[in-house]
Amino acid sequence: MPSLSRKQILIIVFVHVLFALIIGLFLSSYLAEQRARRSVLAAVVDCSTVLVNGQMLADPAPLLSALRQTKFLPPNHTGPGRAIALRLGGLHGTTDITLARDSDHSDQFWVFGSGRNWENYPGGQLAGRFISADLDLFLKSLGL
């Protein structure tokens, strides 16, 4: 059985370290998204008032119903469009959330919680996405 040269050993170590680093980055991003999603969904459950771009919603039910659908969706090579600032108020305080329509699909929404993120999204930490034709119509009725 032939022995490995020093160069071959270094290449094998380098590949293993690089692989571990890449897996660590993906895992870190996944866990941060999960944490943000849990925070957003907890705020939705606790919510009694909603401000959209600073304006109080008379009936936040359609928006809250849509936000409950937030989950991980596989990437579709698009991005978030214009941001919509949401402030959810409840018994445990307020939570700021950024909602954005997908750049290509008006019925797909990106949800961001507060916090830093690897992807440098201006809305904060990605919490997930969802698809809702009803929310698309509701927001259009508000001029958004």
DSSP class of 54: T
Among 9-18, 95-104, 110-119, where is mean pLDDT lowest? 110-119
Tally of domains within the chain? 1
The answer to the question of residue 14 being in a domain is yes
DSSP 8-state code for residue 136: H
By the 10 Å C-beta count (0-12 exposed, 13-18 middle, 19+ buried), 117 is classed as middle
pLDDT in tens, 106-134: 999 999 998 777 677 778 899 999 999 99
Domain range holding 27? Answer: 6-141
Distance CA 97, CA 81 (A): 15
Residue 89 lies in a domain: yes
> Does 22 reside within a domain?
yes
Instruction: Look at residue 1 and tell me if it is in a domain.
Output: no
pLDDT in tens, 41-87: 999 999 999 999 999 999 999 999 999 999 999 888 899 999 999 99
Q: Does residue 132 form part of some domain?
A: yes
The whole-number pLDDT of residue 106 equals 93
